[in-house]
Chain A
Amino acid sequence: AQTVTQSQPEMSVQEAETVTLSCTYDTSESDYYLFWYKQPPSRQMILVIRQEAYKQQNATENRFSVNFQKAAKSFSLKISDSQLGDAAMYFCAYRRMGSGGSNYKLTFGKGTLLTVNP
């Protein structure tokens, strides 16, 4: 079974600084998707960024970028120029790719609570 591990329960960053959130996963599959979701105090789950395992290029979305290391099964999220609105719980998630099986299932990590200090 796939597992997703976020080893940092909490992180903090100063406004305008850069922070990196860690995520590792375990899978025997070669093709899959990885996601980062943000959950602010409002509780909504917001998709931040997505990475396809077959793509070597790291995904970027404005101030958010990932460092995808397939061999190491690592998928970290970098937030540049941190803003107060970035304060939230961040979840890393995994999903299989391809047809058949349970590839609709998202497996989530336990989350990292990010605090942004003014």
Chain B
Amino acid sequence: DAGVIQSPRHEVTEMGQEVTLRCKPISGHNSLFWYRQTMMRGLELLIYFNNNVPIDDSGMPEDRFSAKMPNASFSTLKIQPSEPRDSAVYFCASSFGWSNQPQHFGDGTRLSIL
């Protein structure tokens, strides 16, 4: 079975550019999560979708960050404009429901903003 698929695996771009990260959750999963991992702060939840609807975006750091889930099989996380402090590994995870099912993570996108 295909797991959570994220693209790109690596992204290097210059400050000020728009960055779009993509995620395809596991088929049949109706909960999707975006996390950010840094050395300083560890793993942080950015936003949570249930049935394609954003439920909790309190972890989104600034208005420069936005996330969408236009359908059950696709989500994007966009940063515009990007800044060097956005450099991190961004993970997407999905689960069936959100209460008693574990979250399955993608391989992450390593983002470097120069």
Contacts and interface: CB of A to CB of B under 8 A. Distances in A.
Which bucket holds chain B's interface residue count?
A: 20 to 34
Give the most central of A46, A91, A104: most B CB within 10 Å. Answer: A104
Contacts of A90: none
Contacts, number: 49
Interface stretch (B15-23, B40-48, B78-86): B40-48
A43 B89 contact: yes
B107 A43 contact: yes
A68 interface: no
B42 A103 contact: no
Which secondary structure characterizes the binding site on chain B? strand
A45 B42 CA distance: 13
Interface residues of A, number: 23
A97 interface: yes
Given A104-B48, A108-B43, A110-B42, A45 B98 contact: no
Contacts of B31: 104
A16 interface: no
Nearest to B45: A105
Interface of B: 31, 33, 42-43, 45, 48, 50, 55-56, 89, 91, 93, 98-100, 102-108, 110
